[in-house]
Amino acid sequence: MKTKMQFFGGLAGELTGSCYVLSVIDGKRSFKIMVDAGLIQCNFKESLSRNQEILKQFDPKDIDFILLTHAHIDHVGRLPLFTKNGFKGRVICTTGTERLIGVMLEDSAKIQMAEANYSNAKAAKDEKDSKNKRGNSRSSLSLGNYDRKKQGAQKKSSEKYLPLYTTSDAEMAQSLVKNAGYDYHEWIKLAHNIHVKFYPSGHVMGGAIAVVRLSSRPKPEYICFSGDLGRKDGIILPPPEVVQEPINHLILESTYGGRAHPGRDQETQKLLDLIKISQKKGKRILIPSFALERTQEIIYLLSYYMAQKEIDPIPIYLDSPLGSKITAIFSAGWDAGMFADQSRLGFNPFSPQENKYFHLITEALESDELIKKTGNYIVIAGSGMCDAGRIRGHLRANLGDKNTMVFLVGYMAEGSLGRRLKEHSVVKMNRQEIKVAAEIISFDSFSAHADGPFLVDYAKELSQNHPDSPNLNIFIVHGEKESAKALKADLEKLFPKNCHNIRIPGINEETIIQ
């Protein structure tokens, strides 16, 4: 059996677009197994080229299986693109991921289509304005060479933009998910000598660490993909489980490499103290939040402390169409025992019928009315980095108001509006400069990613479970360059150089692993 691994995305310096491919030759048969099919998340026009670039590296028709670690778009968002371009294999994931993937991919497709429509309308308007300015210009026969080239470029710029994929492509992709998802801890047969098992990752509902077993001689080879690891002190999910197999190759995320999260209790107390201040001063609180997991964690936490009378009850509004759909899935799974410490609450926090503090905003008109609302209340809205979604309407209307507090509870990528709010007192939205009078508060412990010390501890525990196993090859992925380098340095301190090979792979790099 011969095995090659290729790294196509989600590497150091590129947190989004996770995508790795195992090519396995077993006798006369060969298989291609993709782990994650993440979307590179950037502005629409850049996204069109960057996300399709991967199609030059392989033909989706040649992929036999796609294993998904969880339902975040940076891990599943290119699945419809591959389906549109001929992928007809099997999609393997957990039951929790299967429940979420439909709404996530549908929302991604709608964004793609809306962005294409907007870009086409803008291009048409620009072209019309340009024609009006030119008026009765000379015919192309009388133009010089430079002017003809310029006119050709203007025509080219008015070509139509097409979305990466549509809702029908998303539906087709979802239909390829087999068995309505699989349970954790069971070996799933992909081929005669190839199996995969999922362990809970603690990152999001349905999140998984994927272990691929290649039954080669004289003994099996094990490849572990961490996906995104959760925290040891998660709010609604248990911590990641340590894989029990003797791992030969570990593909390990590094989002918070080299950094330690503040204590959960410390940050929770900070949250409660700030809410009490908002109540005394009658301020609104805006919380930009990722629709999957972070939103539900915030709803859970706020509802719990209101029920415990640690803070006075105030309305919690969820103003996010996608967040509402995902929260309904969490609500339906509340009685399934998948959440940590459920007994602390005597009600389902994700059900507006059971949770008296929680209110859903569904219609756009309701959102418009909420934007104008004064007084003390909490709004949770997408997107998490403030670059899209309904949170932008709330921010545009209220960033200039000193009676507003903005809680930044997630990672803010460089260049995002959230990062600019953290670092600047003036921001630009819709070509308008806004002087920020609102109070901007950052929280560092609400991330659903493991921090650097936990990543090191996880690799150590995984290694110590099987001290007699062969040397562990560690490939560090999914983090900014400095985070990946910091994690590599910390792991090198932990492991003797002659015991483990620790690498930071580059884009399109390939390596023989068996």
Beta-sheet strand order (sheet of 208-214): 188-191, 194-200, 208-214, 221-225, 249-253, 472-477, 500-503
Q: How far is CA 490 from CA 374, 459, 495, in A?
A: 49, 11, 9
According to DSSP, residue 480 is labeled: -
According to DSSP, residue 12 is labeled: B
pLDDT for position 426: 95
> Residue 489: inside a domain, yes or no?
yes
Domain match, 304 and 414 both: yes
Report residue 155's pLDDT band, with 50, 70 and 90 as the boundaries. Answer: very low
SS3 209: strand
pLDDT for position 146: 53
Nearest to 75 by CA among 50, 95, 57, 101: 101
SS3 7: strand
Name the strand (E) or helix (H) holding 356.
none
In whole angstroms, what is the distance from residue 384 CA to residue 411 CA? 8
Q: Are residues 227 and 207 in contact, defined by beta-carbon separation less than 8 angstroms?
A: yes
In whole angstroms, what is the distance from residue 294 CA to residue 279 CA? 23
Tokens at 403, concatenated: 């009676």
pLDDT averaged over every residue in the chain: 90
Report residue 470's pLDDT band, with 50, 70 and 90 as the boundaries. Answer: low
SS3 135: coil
Tokens at 125, concatenated: 């308007």
Domain match, 359 and 477 both: no
Domain match, 438 and 460 both: no
pLDDT tens for residues 356-382? 999 999 999 999 999 999 999 999 999
Count of structural domains, the chain: 2
Domain match, 249 and 306 both: no
pLDDT tens for residues 86-143? 999 999 999 999 999 999 999 999 989 998 998 899 888 887 877 776 665 545 445 5
Domain match, 306 and 276 both: yes
What's the predicted TM-score (pTM) here? 0.90
> Residue 141: inside a domain, yes or no?
no
Domain that holds residue 80: 2-106+165-259+449-512
Domain match, 489 and 455 both: yes
pLDDT for position 337: 66
Tokens at 329, concatenated: 């899935």
**Residue percentage of the chain with pLDDT more than 90:** 74
Tokens at 58, concatenated: 């392989």
> Residue 481: inside a domain, yes or no?
yes
Domain match, 220 and 91 both: yes
Domain match, 341 and 232 both: no
Domain match, 410 and 319 both: yes
Domain match, 370 and 464 both: no
Other CB atoms within a 10 A radius of the CB of residue 458 amount to 22
Tokens at 415, concatenated: 């260049």
> Residue 112: inside a domain, yes or no?
no
Other CB atoms within a 10 A radius of the CB of residue 225 amount to 25
Q: What is the mean pLDDT of residues 10-33?
A: 93
> Residue 307: inside a domain, yes or no?
yes
Q: Are residues 227 and 37 in contact, defined by beta-carbon separation less than 8 angstroms?
A: no
Q: Is 324 left (phi over 0), alpha (psi -120 to 50) or beta?
A: alpha
pLDDT tens for residues 406-451? 999 987 877 889 999 999 999 999 889 999 999 999 987 788 899 9
Q: What is the mean pLDDT of residues 283-297?
A: 95
In whole angstroms, what is the distance from residue 81 CA to residue 83 CA? 5
According to DSSP, residue 401 is labeled: -
